[in-house]
């Protein structure tokens, strides 16, 4: 951390915001050049955001519970108990801007102009260009996993995909951003939650990147068998999992090419129900082999989890990890009230076949 940044770690007035932003970005760009990937950049941004006080959470407090299928111990689902996560619904930051500053896009929490005054200068991001488009990496103040980054488009534009709304995101753009970034952040989990499939800010395009948990790095979905012979067009299909999920594995460019073509055909074959569909995409890159993996779980907007609203089920849950936030739920986790089938039911409630 250079000296100038260190002097500015306390919340500042937004008029200094651009200067401090530039200093931080220069510093992070130097880190990126040294490291050759985004991991060191994200960690440095995380550290900086703890120092400014924007992130107060101590990630170590999250406990994790694993539930095995009683007849088949190779199958499991798990829960993280993350009480601070409940606070996110209240939001943080101020709601009324200082005089002479106006609210843009209804106070959208992913627009930089709003963030500057809402978080009183404490929240800063990292500018990135991906395939010719501009994005900002922000730290999530209520992390689901270590070093939880939200990468949002610099411009205020919808999270919705093209299949539901004209002007929505092309699938190729979602995949390019997600898989390209994943290749630059090996060892991270990246996910895009569609609108109605876990996206908490549907008005502004964003994807999540998180480190894996140290104690249990692989997620249930990553450990299930994938059958690459049932589908001849390059996708694998997961077996013995409560959700229908298509998988691609290979080099970054191969994965992007085959998945984009496959999803275009998928959309054609799903025309009658397409407007009611949404999706979760998950991307990872193996740090040892540089191989990319991409997962696609189709979702139906009106297919809800009967214990709550479907919006709460996003990429993490699709990977087989559920987030519990209230104390009573911890008693259930420890007292044998929750088991494999409790969790499986959440996924079967939102299950939809690849072809309807």
- Residue placing its CB nearer to Zn ion in the complex, 110 or 346: 110
Decide if residue 27 touches Zn ion (CB under 5 A).
Answer: no
Q: Which of 111, 174, 181, 346 touches Zn ion (CB under 5 A)?
A: 111
Give the per-residue contact string, 187-226, with Zn ion (x = CB under 5 A; - = no).
-----------------x----------------------
Q: According to the binding rule CB under 5 A, does residue 164 interact with Zn ion?
A: no
108 binds Zn ion (CB under 5 A): yes
Torsion sign, CA atoms 149, 150, 151, 154: negative
- Least CB distance from residue 116 to Zn ion, whole Å? 13
User: Binders of Zn ion: how many residues, by CB under 5 A?
Assistant: 6
Q: Give whichever of 75 and 206 is closer to Zn ion, judged by the CB atom.
A: 206
Which span (3-11, 109-117, 141-149, 175-183) binds Zn ion, by CB under 5 A? 109-117
List 110, 124, 144, 199, residue binding Zn ion (CB under 5 A) = 110
Q: At closest approach, how far in Å is the CB of 54 from Zn ion?
A: 18
Contact, 112 vs 136, CB < 8 A?
yes
Nearest CB to Zn ion, comparing residues 114 and 211: 114
Backbone φ/ψ region at 48: left (φ over 0), alpha (ψ -120 to 50), beta: alpha
The interface region with Zn ion, picked from 41-49, 99-107, 180-188, 323-331 by CB under 5 A, is 99-107
Shortest distance (Å) from residue 135 CB to Zn ion: 13
Shortest spacing between CB 161 and Zn ion, in angstroms: 17
299 binds Zn ion (CB under 5 A): no
Considering the rule CB under 5 A, would residue 115 count as an interface residue with Zn ion? no
By CB under 5 A, residue 105 contacts Zn ion: yes
Which residues are CB-neighbours of 20 under 8 A, at least 6 positions away? 5, 8, 12, 121, 124
Binding residues for Zn ion, rule: CB under 5 A, are 105, 108, 110-111, 156, 204
């Amino acid at each position: 951390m250079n000296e100038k940044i260190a002097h500015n770690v306390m919340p500042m007035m937004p008029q200094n915001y651009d200067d401090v932003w530039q200093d931080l970005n220069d510093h992070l760009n130097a880190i990126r050049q040294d490291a050759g990937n985004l991991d060191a950049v994200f960690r440095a941004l995380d550290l900086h955001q703890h120092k400014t006080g924007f992130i107060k959470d101590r990630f170590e407090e999250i406990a994790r519970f694993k539930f095995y299928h009683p007849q088949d111990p190779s199958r499991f689902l798990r829960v993280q108990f993350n009480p601070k996560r409940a606070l996110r619904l209240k939001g943080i930051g101020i709601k009324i801007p200082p005089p002479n500053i106006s609210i843009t896009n209804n106070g959208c929490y992913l627009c930089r102009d709003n963030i500057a005054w809402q978080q009183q200068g404490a929240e800063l991001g990292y500018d990135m260009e991906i395939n010719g488009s501009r994005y900002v990496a922000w730290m999530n103040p209520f992390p689901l996993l270590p070093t939880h980054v939200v990468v949002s488009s610099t411009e205020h534009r919808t999270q919705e995909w093209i299949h539901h709304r004209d002007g929505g995101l092309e699938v190729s753009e979602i995949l390019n951003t997600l898989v390209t970034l994943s290749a630059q952040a090996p060892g991270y989990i990246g996910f895009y939650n569609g609108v109605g499939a876990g996206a908490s800010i549907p008005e502004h395009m964003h994807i999540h990147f998180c480190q894996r948990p140290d104690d249990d790095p692989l997620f249930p979905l990553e450990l299930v068998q994938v059958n690459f012979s049932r589908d001849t067009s390059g996708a694998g299909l997961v077996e013995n999992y409560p959700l229908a999920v298509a998988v691609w594995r290979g080099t970054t460019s191969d994965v992007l090419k085959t998945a984009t073509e496959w999803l275009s055909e998928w959309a054609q074959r799903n025309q009658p129900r397409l407007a009611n569909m949404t999706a979760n995409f998950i991307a990872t890159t193996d740090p040892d082999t540089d191989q990319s993996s991409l997962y696609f779980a189709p979702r139906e907007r009106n297919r809800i989890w009967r214990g709550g609203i479907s919006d709460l089920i996003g990429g993490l849950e699709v990977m087989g990890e559920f987030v519990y936030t209230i104390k009573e739920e911890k008693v259930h986790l420890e007292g044998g009230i929750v088991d494999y089938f409790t969790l499986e039911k959440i996924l079967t409630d939102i299950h939809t076949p690849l072809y309807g």
